[in-house]
Amino acid sequence: MGRNQPMRERSNADEPTVTIEAAVPGTNAARNSRESDRVRTVLRVVKVQSSGDEGLARLKNISDGGMMLRLQLPVCLGDTVTVHLEDGRSLVSKVVWTEGQNCGVRFEDAVDCAGLLNEMARSARAGVSRPVRMSADADAVVYTPGGIYPIRVKDISQRGMKVQHRCAFKEGLPVKILLGPGLEWRGVVRWASGDLAGIQLSEPMSLDNLGSSNQLSRHY
């Protein structure tokens, strides 16, 4: 599937919108136009878990029966995956087609996609949703005003990470994180407790760097 050559994200306008009804074998949009009308095109970040890996992905469109994802996580036809949304909801799904870095999944249990998206929007407005994070166990290096130290990244999102450290982190400390060659981000310590700390990044990370927890752990 070309996973060794990550593609840069393109805008949604660069690619055709493929509805789940058209892509999932055995469905018939003409037979059930009401279901077809419920396809929603969205651009949200989700976490996808497979049997041995996890990564962040772009949710491109969704219907009551499934969704289309753009991801770097290696998946095959028939794989069972769990899609985690930013409101904490998890959807067990099966991969029913793949094309490059795009894939379609069918939900184990159908959802009300309009209601789901409305609830996600309400959670975001209320400030109760959080950016999806993927688990990590990656070595990194942190540059601080007091020195350079090894750290371990425990989980990570586009805008922040939780790290394990042996240095004097305190709230407000400016840092630079090096995760591997060319993978460098600046940020600030938002909280510190014992040997753990939360870092908010100054600029969001690209999904190209967060497509696979296993791949991230191999950068160093």
Same domain, 58 and 158: no
- Tell me: do 16 and 120 sit in the same domain: yes
For the whole model, what pTM was predicted? 0.78
pLDDT, tens only, 45-57: 999 999 999 999 9
Indicate if 158 and 108 belong to the same structural domain.
no
145-158 average pLDDT score: 95
When divided into structural domains, the chain yields a total of 2
Q: Which residues pair with 66 in a beta bridge?
A: 106
- pLDDT one-digit tens code per residue, 168-206: 899 999 999 999 888 899 999 999 999 999 999 999 999
DSSP 8-state symbol, 9: P
| Shared domain check, 116 and 100 | yes
Model confidence band, residue 7 (pLDDT cutoffs 50, 70, 90): very low
User: Is 141 inside any structural domain?
Assistant: yes
Using the 3D structure, point to which of 89, 107, 126 is the last residue of a domain.
126
For residue 152, the domain's CATH number is 2.40.10.220
∠ CA(212), CA(217), CA(220), 5° rounding?
A: 135
Q: Residue 217: left (phi > 0), alpha (psi -120 to 50), or beta?
A: alpha
User: Of the residues 126, 153, 169, which one is the last residue of a structural domain?
Assistant: 126
Question: At residue 4, what are phi and psi to the nearest 5 degrees?
Answer: -75, -10
Q: What is the pLDDT of residues 94-137, one digit of tens each?
A: 999 999 999 999 999 999 988 888 888 887 787 777 789 999 99
146 and 117 in a single domain? The answer is: no
Domain end position, chosen among 106, 126, 146: 126
What CA–CA distance (Å, rounded) separates 107 from 113? 11
- Check whether residue 156 and residue 120 sit in a common domain: no
**52 located within any domain:** yes
Q: Tell me: do 187 and 116 sit in the same domain.
A: no
Task: Assess whether 114 and 21 both reside in one domain.
Answer: yes
- Domain range enclosing 206: 134-217
From residue 162, give the alpha-carbon distance in Å to each of 165, 175, 186: 10, 13, 14
